[in-house]
Amino acid sequence: MKKTTTKKRKKPLLKKVKVRKLKKAKTKEKTEEVKKPKPKPEKYYEAVGRRKTAIARVRLFTQGEKTFLVNEKPLNQYFPTFESQETAKASLNKMNCLDRFRVLAKVKGGGFTSQAEAIRHGITKALVLFNSDFRKRLKSAGFLTRDARMRERKKFGLKRARRAPQWQKR
């Protein structure tokens, strides 16, 4: 018996590519829209205040109602304790500017006390942007200083940051 061998056909190196013409997209008739004039953005002074893990973004508006909103709630509703309310308003009271600004504050992180102190820090920085003459009085009151004290991290082998497990003799 004879073995028949079949030759493999060599493929061409270049393939033929079909060229397609792109169809032009139909343009729809544009309806003329009436352009409304955009309202002029209100002028405000913005600053960020911090304390422990609390961060407050504070905006002081010179125009409009003179309200104090924290996370879109009134101050006395957000901070139920009188001390926290006074802490948040302290820099405005110091400069006698409580009735001159509308205050919007967005706060996150931390507890109520550190949030109130973060708001105070943010308001103070915004007041300095508003009027640089306020800086000396606010600095002497200690409102401009960022309190850097933070919670110390827990270490391995210990129960807390420094609290060791109870020692046993045997």
CATH value at residue 75: 3.30.230.10
CA distances from 156 to 149, 153, 160, 166, 167 (A): 22, 10, 9, 15, 16
pLDDT reported for residue 36: 75
For residue 125, being part of any structural domain is answered with: yes
In a domain, 165, yes or no: no
pTM of the entire structure? Answer: 0.74
- C-alpha 76, offset from chain centre: 23
Residue 8 pLDDT exceeds 90 = no
Is residue 136 a part of any domain in this protein? Answer: yes
pLDDT(16) > 60: yes
- When pLDDT is averaged across residues 62-85 and rounded to a whole number, the result is 94
Q: Has residue 33 been placed in a domain?
A: no
Tokens describing residue 40? 């002029």
Q: Is residue 52 part of a domain?
A: yes
Residue 6 placed within a domain:
no
How many structural domains is the chain composed of? 1
Q: Which pair of tokens denotes residue 70?
A: 């924290």
CB atoms within 10 A of CB 161: 10
Q: How many CB atoms lie within 10 A of CB 104?
A: 18
Distance CA 15, CA 25 (A): 30
Is 10 inside any structural domain? no
Cα distance between residue 19 and residue 167, in whole Å = 84
The domain in which residue 74 lies consists of 44-141
pLDDT at 160 over 80: yes
Distance CA 92, CA 45 (A): 14
> Which tokens is 20 given?
């397609």
pLDDT tens sequence across 106-128: 999 999 999 999 999 999 999 99
Q: Is residue 66 part of a domain?
A: yes
